[in-house]
Amino acid sequence: MTPLAESLDIIRERVPAARPRIAVLLGSGWGGMAKQLKGATRIAYADLPGFPAADVPGHAGELWLGRLGTVEVALLSGRRHVYEDDHADGMKGALRTLRALGCQVLVQTNAAGSLDASIPSGSLMLVTDHLNIAQRSPLVGAIGTERFVNMVDAYDPALRKLAQEAASRRGITLHEGVFAWVLGPQFETPAEIRMLRTLGAQAVGMSTVPETILARHAGLRVLALSLITNMAAGLSGELLSHAHTLSVAGATADKAGALLADIAQAIAAVHAP
């Protein structure tokens, strides 16, 4: 039996009625959405073959299956970053399992640094496109023509419209911009930030792009949001650290989580079974 089949069997054994249409991948600062989930069953990644170990503070490493109102949602609390083990496909097993479970949409979240003075710390940004600065792909070694994934509109325009409408109803400004993925784990130098600004990025972070590629390969539609936790290197006097990222993310967690729950419900309304 494959790891995917084993994981599906475990999920169906523990939550027989689970039929989520939306998967939400929670990054740093987005855990507030879990407070909105009702009747949730939590399964540790360690119990699911093919799911990653999550070793970074702020990433719990759990799959939550529950409801937002009448909407079934699968929450991935934590991700595997490429800088942890040098593999870009760390989330492949998790995303393929949720696709097989019935998910049609992946909503991704992350914490990021801003390269744009008009998007300050504490802001929320909708990702419109990305720059794969690391030039790594989780599809290396895949076979078949499906590996040549079309990345035009990788961040689904119709889903972005729903997200903006949800933000507007809450009176929240949801900025939009290009997200630059860098490998990490070290933060960027001021020279690297100047390069990324020249290339047209509005935010920078160490995740999201590999998962987007995997999701598109699996046939999932993708939406991604960034919680801006700092101005990037050289753009302010902030001392960058992971502790600082978690501190700012925590202060914004309730607002971000509530908006994310609204967005998931809005998406679910057009993805009913």
Q: Superfamily assignment of 3-269 in CATH?
A: Nucleoside phosphorylase domain (3.40.50.1580)
- List all residues 6 or more positions away from 65 whose beta carbon is below 8 Å from its beta carbon: 11, 15, 18, 20, 40, 41, 43, 72, 73, 74, 75
pTM: 0.92
Smallest CA-to-CA distance from 106 within 206, 177, 20 is with 20
Question: In residues, how long is the chain?
Answer: 273
Smallest CA-to-CA distance from 124 within 171, 192, 77 is with 171
* DSSP letter string, 51-102: PPP--STT---EEEEEEETTEEEEEEE----HHHHS-TTTTHHHHHHHHHHT
Q: Give the per-residue pLDDT at 103.
A: 95
Q: Give the per-residue pLDDT at 53.
A: 79
Residue 2, number of CB atoms within 10 A of its CB:
11
Tell me, what DSSP letter sits at residue 273? -
Weakly modelled stretches of the chain, pLDDT under 70:
54-59, 233-252, 271-273
Tell me, what DSSP letter sits at residue 189? P
